[in-house]
């Protein structure tokens, strides 16, 4: 027996001595944090923070057409009725806190906050970093922390958790809620402003050629101004807002207008041509305050699709998915009168639509009607060249389900046919891939915010200049009857001698012939700025026309406190064309999305549903 136990013991011993090494298996293809706590590693962690600017789905897109445009009635969801039903709930206002399109952005924004805090965390524990590097990197991290908290505020209201470094370090799942011990909401405006202020004070004014993608100090200031604009806005009296902040917002905007430069060091200015802003080769222009730097390496589409790496806004004939189709309401809103001025008070809704379905699958468009030239950069109309692709006349191939999505299709962010033939400008196989940058704030924002600040601080007449400055630029370019690539017409589109013209009331020399449709644009009359109410009406129209399909409008409607009025008017009108809008109403209380139900459950009791969603 003894022999047995000895041999058994020997076997056991042999096995166990090998055991501790045997069981120590490290994760493969990943690295531990220890390997990154050096200057090169920290820089890569920082880049990892920037990478959150690229969306992997429409829910993560900071150019949030799914929210800023679809909820706002600029576009409907598109595709067909059974595709992405949760998104469909957004367009008809039946969403709740369990909807994946509500939970998605929340997770993305707080992931952005996580990455920013992580950078701050490693900055504090890495040897060998220079003070200058730490200072600038801290400012970058705080810029991002402010940015993502601001996004969370715009989507979910200003009473949302603010996660600072201490919270981040104290618990892997930070225990930060949105109410104080007495149960009152904590509004986080000031903390966001602190982050942007730090970034403004510590970021460089411009960068060398290898770093144009970073925010400079003026970008930080612009975000601080944006925060203050939102903080000053009515929001139906909620969100802890205060109109007295308009003065501070105005002061920020004035600095930007007086001395602001882009990350390349050039003074801010409106870029000459509106249409070119939405084409490749026009990145980081003088209009760029902060842009997502779209880029392609290999066949990866992560950095080159504005709404996530899917083919959301691609057209059916480009193998795209056909989402986010512009609404009839928005298309109609581009109508102008003989002076090139929009039809106020939603008067455009009383006129017959300019595009109507004809026999078969054709759509006829009345190209003689006067339109703001921006319409044909923003959305696809039948009878108008679709960039250099074609002049579509039938919705086959362009629209997936005309009864669900209507007769307009997305255009602004789609690549040209020429781009599709260049592997460096667009990835084959993804109809929406393009390296054109996506602006999060451009100089036109600054001008229109400033105009608004002037109105709100009692000098509406002064706003005229800035609104018209934005409007005037729109007259500098129009879509020709055949799309021009360089000096030649693209072979796919016949060059024609068009009967339509551009009539520029700002500057007759900018008028032109061979337009794709009749365009007309003229200045808002001075009388429009005689009182705050009319001045705001002009600003709202201009904001919608200028930024359509850039994911802005719904957030503005909410802060202006007019979302209900505007959107119930929209569904009442749009149901004439798409029956899904019948009996759909926007709830008065909704100044933001609900905080995701699941997060409320996990963070019970420190996280409370936002005040506009408690009935």
Residues 134-193 that bind another protein (CB under 8 A): 161, 163, 167, 172-174, 176
d(CA 555, CA 540): 12
CB of 407 to another protein, least distance (A): 9
d(CA 455, CA 463): 7
Q: Where are the beta strands (DSSP E) in 358-430?
A: 363-365, 379-380, 409-410
Query: In what helix (H) or strand (E) does residue 609 lie, and over which residues does it extend?
Result: none
CB of 255 to another protein, least distance (A): 24
Tokens of 230: 């939102």
Radius of gyration of the chain, Cα coordinates, nearest whole angstrom: 26
CB of 344 to another protein, least distance (A): 18
**Site for another protein, residues 566 to 605, rule: CB under 8 A:** 575-577, 579-580, 582-583, 585, 587, 596, 598-599, 601-604
Pick 97 or 523: Cβ nearer another protein: 97
CB of 374 to another protein, least distance (A): 24
Q: How many C-beta atoms surround the C-beta of residue 164 within 10 A?
A: 18
96's CB contacts (< 8 A; 6+ apart) are 89, 102, 594, 597
Asked if 494 interacts with another protein (CB under 8 A), we say: no
CB of 235 to another protein, least distance (A): 21
Sign of CA dihedral 581, 62, 225, 190: positive
Please say whether the beta carbons of 395 and 407 come within 8 A. Answer: yes
Among 58, 70, 92, 591, binds another protein (CB under 8 A): 92
CB of 480 to another protein, least distance (A): 26
Pick 545 or 603: Cβ nearer another protein: 603
Among 59, 65, 75, 108, binds another protein (CB under 8 A): 108
571 secondary structure, DSSP code: H
Q: What are phi and psi of 256, to 5 degrees?
A: -60, -40
Per-position x/- string for 200-239, each x denoting binding to another protein as judged by CB under 8 A, each - no binding? ---------xxxxxx-------------------------
d(CA 76, CA 63): 16
Pick 508 or 614: Cβ nearer another protein: 614
**Site for another protein, residues 418 to 437, rule: CB under 8 A:** 423-425, 427-429, 435
Pick 40 or 182: Cβ nearer another protein: 40
**What DSSP string describes 67-130?**
IIITTTTSEEEES-TTSSHHHHHHHTT---TT-HHHHHHHHHHHHHHHHHHHHHHHHTT-TT--
* Burial group, residue 298, by CB count within 10 angstroms (0-12, 13-18, 19+): exposed
Asked if 198 interacts with another protein (CB under 8 A), we say: no
**Site for another protein, residues 238 to 257, rule: CB under 8 A:** none
CB of 457 to another protein, least distance (A): 36
Asked if 345 interacts with another protein (CB under 8 A), we say: no
Per-position x/- string for 434-453, each x denoting binding to another protein as judged by CB under 8 A, each - no binding? -x------------------
Pick 211 or 465: Cβ nearer another protein: 211
Number of residues that bind another protein (CB under 8 A): 135
CA atoms within 13 A on the CB side of 234: 10
Pick 34 or 508: Cβ nearer another protein: 34
Among 303, 340, 342, 373, binds another protein (CB under 8 A): 303
51, 56, 60, 64: CA torsion to nearest 10: 100
**Site for another protein, residues 16 to 75, rule: CB under 8 A:** 16, 18-19, 22-33, 35-36, 41, 44-51, 53-54, 56
């Amino acid at each position: 027996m003894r022999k047995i136990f000895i041999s058994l013991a020997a076997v056991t011993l042999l096995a166990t001595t090998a055991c501790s090494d045997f069981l120590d298996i490290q994760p493969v293809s990943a690295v531990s944090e220890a390997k990154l706590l050096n200057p090169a590693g920290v820089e890569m962690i920082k880049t990892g923070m920037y990478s959150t600017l690229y969306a992997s789905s429409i829910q993560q897109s900071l150019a949030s057409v799914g929210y800023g445009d679809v909820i706002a009635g600029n576009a409907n969801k598109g595709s067909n009725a059974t595709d992405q039903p949760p998104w469909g709930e957004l367009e008809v206002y039946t969403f709740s806190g369990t909807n994946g399109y509500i939970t998605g952005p929340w997770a993305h924004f707080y992931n952005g906050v996580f990455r920013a805090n992580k950078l701050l965390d490693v900055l504090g524990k890495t040897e060998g970093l220079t003070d200058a590097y730490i200072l600038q990197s801290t400012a970058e991290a705080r810029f991002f922390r402010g940015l993502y908290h601001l996004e969370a505020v715009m989507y979910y209201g200003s009473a949302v958790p603010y996660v600072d470094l201490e919270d981040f370090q104290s618990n892997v799942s930070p225990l930060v809620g949105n109410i104080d011990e007495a149960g009152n909401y904590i509004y986080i405006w000031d903390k966001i402003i602190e982050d942007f202020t730090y970034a403004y004070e510590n970021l460089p004014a411009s960068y060398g050629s290898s770093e144009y993608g970073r925010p400079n100090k003026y970008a930080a200031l612009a975000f601080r101004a944006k925060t203050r604009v939102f903080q000053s806005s009515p929001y139906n009296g909620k969100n802890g807002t205060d109109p007295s902040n308009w003065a501070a917002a105005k002061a920020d905007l004035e600095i930007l207008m007086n001395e602001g430069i882009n990350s390349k060091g050039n003074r801010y200015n409106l870029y000459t041509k509106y249409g070119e802003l939405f084409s490749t080769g026009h990145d980081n222009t003088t209009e760029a305050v902060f842009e997502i730097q779209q880029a392609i390496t290999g066949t990866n589409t992560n950095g080159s699709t504005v709404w996530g790496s899917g083919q959301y806004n691609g057209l059916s004939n480009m193998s795209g998915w056909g989402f986010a189709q512009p609404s009839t309401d928005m298309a109609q809103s581009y109508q102008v009168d003989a002076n090139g001025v929009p039809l106020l008070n939603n008067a455009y809704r009383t006129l017959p639509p300019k595009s109507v379905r004809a026999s078969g699958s054709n759509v006829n468009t009345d190209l003689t009607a006067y339109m703001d030239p921006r319409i044909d950069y923003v959305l696809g109309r039948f009878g108008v060249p679709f960039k250099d692709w074609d002049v579509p006349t039938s919705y086959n191939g362009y629209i997936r389900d005309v009864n669900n999505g209507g007769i307009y299709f997305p255009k602004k962010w789609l690549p040209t046919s020429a781009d599709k033939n260049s592997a460096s400008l667009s990835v084959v196989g993804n109809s929406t891939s393009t390296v054109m940058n996506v602006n999060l704030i451009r100089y036109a924002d600054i001008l229109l915010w400033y105009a608004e600040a002037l109105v709100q601080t009692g000098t509406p007449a002064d706003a005229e200049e800035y609104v018209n400055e934005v409007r005037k630029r729109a007259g500098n370019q129009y879509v020709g009857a055949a799309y021009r690539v360089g000096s030649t017409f693209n072979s796919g589109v016949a060059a024609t001698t068009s009967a339509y013209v551009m009539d520029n009331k700002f500057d007759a020399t900018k008028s032109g012939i061979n337009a794709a449709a009749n365009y007309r644009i003229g200045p808002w009359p001075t009388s429009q700025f005689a009182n705050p109410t009319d001045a705001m009406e002009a600003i709202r129209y201009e904001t919608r026309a200028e930024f359509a399909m850039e994911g802005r409008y719904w957030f503005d409607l909410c802060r202006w406190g007019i979302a209900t009025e505007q959107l119930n008017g929209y569904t009442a009108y749009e149901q004439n064309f798409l029956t899904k809008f019948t009996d759909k109403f926007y709830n008065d209380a909704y100044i933001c999305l609900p905080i995701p139900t699941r997060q409320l459950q996990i963070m019970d009791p420190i996280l409370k549903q936002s005040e506009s969603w408690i009935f």
